[in-house]
Amino acid sequence: MEVHPDGALITSARLQSVRLMGPALEPLQKVTLYDVKESQGSESYVLDKYIPSNDMVDLTPFKEVTSGIGGIGMRAMYLGMKCLALLDINDMVALPLRQMVTSVSSRATSTVHRFDIVFNVMKRQEVGSSVASHANPFPPKET
Amino acid sequence: MKGEWDQRADVFKNVMKPAWAQQADGPLLECVPAALQAKYVQNELQKLSWSMNMEIKQRILHLHAVWPCRRSRWWALLIPSGCQMHDISNLPGASPYPSLEYIFARWPVWPDEVERELQLDEEELNMFHSKFYGNDIRHLRMNQAAPCILHSYGSVLRECPCGCRGKFSMWRLQRVGIRGFYFMGNSSKEWFLHVMEAAYLCTILPSTRFPHVPRDSLCPTGQCAAPMQALWIATSWTILCKTFMDLHNKHC
């Protein structure tokens, strides 16, 4: 989203103009909002996002699409990353993929690199906390 | 070059959408080197990186710098803005570049029926040797790296075993040429590589099981992203994350 000089927010996804309650925003500042839901029949938007605590963040998962026989995934798993999904339209690669996932995932287990979600957390803290958490009328869920 | 209008470009566009929708934290893309110059690819990446507050790191990696097989591929990694990451570094180059004899002291021997299947037929041989179909070096040389193994390797005069295309037209073959090569086996006949040999050259574990006959299995092998290049990129990503996490934990 980009903040226009008049204070309106324009979403980059669908170019909708939205109004957001919260602290003042700087013109031309970029902000990211997560899981915004539009209340039916209302102009307001509701933020309801659970942000995991730091020690609960798992950064290992990845998905590989148009994977072929999984050239990227097979090595990523050796680095301790967890494969959530491998996707390809080609039937011929199904068996090699299945074999790869079962053989590698049994070995690469204990290394915990925390990749994915930490960046979400970071972005939320950098650009979201000043906007999103203040605008959120609901407290975050307790864990 | 159809570029953006090539049907295959739809895959790229359709991968961009879930990357945005799921707010992927480190989208990684691999393609042929032309992607670095393709305007529509670069524009889409710019849009994605802008909307997700990320930076693009791109590099073309040449497999033949470290392994005796040509495979130059474009890699792009999107990382969160503000992360301290230098550009993706190049693969460490060996000097001189490794040649086939480094990894194949001699060619494996396969059962007779497998060798028969891998043998080039008369039509394939004639076309490989005809200048109408390009000037590629057809006979694999042990003192060089192998040419790039393509999706059509082993099936250039046939329908693709995976069903992605029918037979190439003669017009197309004459216009674009035939890519591919053979090697001379112990019996002085011309063979395509066995899928396990091809896999090894593409840095796939040769122990990978391919359920189809060896010649058909060459097509998914020729299409793969080289795991060695993937490992190089993934390692850069790992180091970046480790650095970031250390920094993050320090401030918590």
The full length of chain B comes to 252
The mean pLDDT value of chain A amounts to: 57
pTM above 0.90, yes or no: no
* Residue A124 one-letter amino acid: R
- Say yes or no: B118 and B55 in one domain: no
Given an 8 Å threshold on Cβ–Cβ distance, is A66 in contact with B15? yes
pLDDT tens for A79-128 read 888 888 888 888 888 777 777 766 654 443 322 222 222 222 333 333 32
Residues from chain A contacting residue B226 (CB–CB below 8 Å): 71
CB contact at 8 A, A73 and A45:
no
What is the enclosing helix (H) or strand (E) of A120?
Answer: helix A116-123
User: Using CA atoms, how far apart are residues A34 and A50, in angstroms rounded to an integer?
Assistant: 10
- Say yes or no: B30 and B119 in one domain: no
- In this structure, what token pair is assigned to residue A140? 């975050």
- A126 contact partners, CB below 8 Å, separation of at least 6: B82
Confirm whether B251 is domain-assigned.
Answer: no
Given an 8 Å threshold on Cβ–Cβ distance, is A72 in contact with B219? no
DSSP state of A17: E
pLDDT confidence band for A17 (50 / 70 / 90): low
Residues from chain B contacting residue A70 (CB–CB below 8 Å): 224
Confirm whether B65 is domain-assigned.
Answer: yes
Q: The domain that contains B52 carries what CATH number?
A: 3.40.50.150
- Say yes or no: B110 and B219 in one domain: yes
From residue B46, give the alpha-carbon distance in Å to each of A9, A64, B39, B43, B89. 21, 21, 10, 5, 21
DSSP collapsed to 3 states, chain B: CCHHHCCCHHHHHHHHHHHHHCCCCCCEEEECHHHHCCHHHHHHHHHHHHHCCEEEEEEEEEHHHCCCECCEEEEEEEEECCCCCCCCCCCCCCCCCCCHHHCCCCCCCCCHHHHHHHECCHHHHHHHHCHHHCCCCCECCCCCCECCCCCCCCCCCCCCCCCCCCCCCHHHHHHHCCCCCEEECCCCCEECCCHHHHHHHCCCCCCCCCCCCHHHHHHHHHHCCCHHHHHHHHHHHHHHHHHHHHHHHHHC
Given an 8 Å threshold on Cβ–Cβ distance, is B248 in contact with A119? no
Nearest to A35, CA basis, from A23, A24, A21, A45:
A45
User: Using CA atoms, how far apart are residues A44 and A135, in angstroms rounded to an integer?
Assistant: 10
What is the phi/psi pair of residue B38, to 5°? Answer: -75, 120
What pLDDT score was predicted for residue B248? 63
- Say yes or no: B114 and B211 in one domain: yes
Q: Say whether residue B161 is in contact with chain A using an 8 A CB cutoff.
A: yes
Which has more pLDDT, A60 or A35?
A60
What pLDDT score was predicted for residue A39? 56
What pLDDT score was predicted for residue A140? 36
What pLDDT score was predicted for residue A129? 27
What pLDDT score was predicted for residue A122? 31
What pLDDT score was predicted for residue A123? 32
- Say yes or no: B110 and B163 in one domain: yes
Nearest to B81, CA basis, from B111, B115, B110, B46:
B46
Residues from chain B contacting residue A95 (CB–CB below 8 Å): 209-211
What pLDDT score was predicted for residue B100? 94
Is the confidence at residue A136, as pLDDT, over 50? no
What is the phi/psi pair of residue B67, to 5°? Answer: -150, 140
The C-alpha angle with vertex B18 and arms to B13 and B24, in degrees rounded to 5, equals 115
Confirm whether B248 is domain-assigned.
Answer: no
Number of domain units in chain B: 2
What pLDDT score was predicted for residue A111? 27
Confirm whether B241 is domain-assigned.
Answer: no
User: Using CA atoms, how far apart are residues A76 and A82, in angstroms rounded to an integer?
Assistant: 8
Given an 8 Å threshold on Cβ–Cβ distance, is B234 in contact with A76? yes
The answer for A15, left when phi > 0, alpha when psi is -120 to 50, beta otherwise, is left
Confirm whether B190 is domain-assigned.
Answer: yes
- Say yes or no: B197 and B117 in one domain: yes
Given an 8 Å threshold on Cβ–Cβ distance, is A81 in contact with B234? yes
- Say yes or no: B75 and B150 in one domain: no
Nearest to A66, CA basis, from A52, A83, A87, A45:
A87
- In this structure, what token pair is assigned to residue B247? 């920094």
- Say yes or no: B132 and B25 in one domain: no
**pLDDT tens across the length of chain B (252 residues):** 567 777 777 888 888 888 888 778 789 999 999 999 999 999 999 999 988 888 999 999 999 999 999 999 999 999 888 777 778 889 988 889 999 999 998 888 899 899 999 999 999 999 999 989 988 889 999 999 999 999 999 999 999 998 889 999 999 999 999 999 999 877 788 999 999 999 999 999 888 888 889 999 999 999 999 999 999 998 888 887 777 667 666 665
- Domain of residue B5 covers 1-82
- Say yes or no: B209 and B107 in one domain: yes
- Say yes or no: B118 and B30 in one domain: no
Confirm whether B18 is domain-assigned.
Answer: yes
- Say yes or no: B124 and B46 in one domain: no
pLDDT confidence band for A22 (50 / 70 / 90): low
- Say yes or no: B104 and B217 in one domain: yes
Is the confidence at residue A40, as pLDDT, over 70? no
Confirm whether B50 is domain-assigned.
Answer: yes
Q: Say whether residue B234 is in contact with chain A using an 8 A CB cutoff.
A: yes
Q: In chain A, what are the domain boundaries?
A: 2-51+126-135, 60-105
Token pair 């539009």: residue: A38
- In this structure, what token pair is assigned to residue B221? 């092998």
What pLDDT score was predicted for residue B80? 80
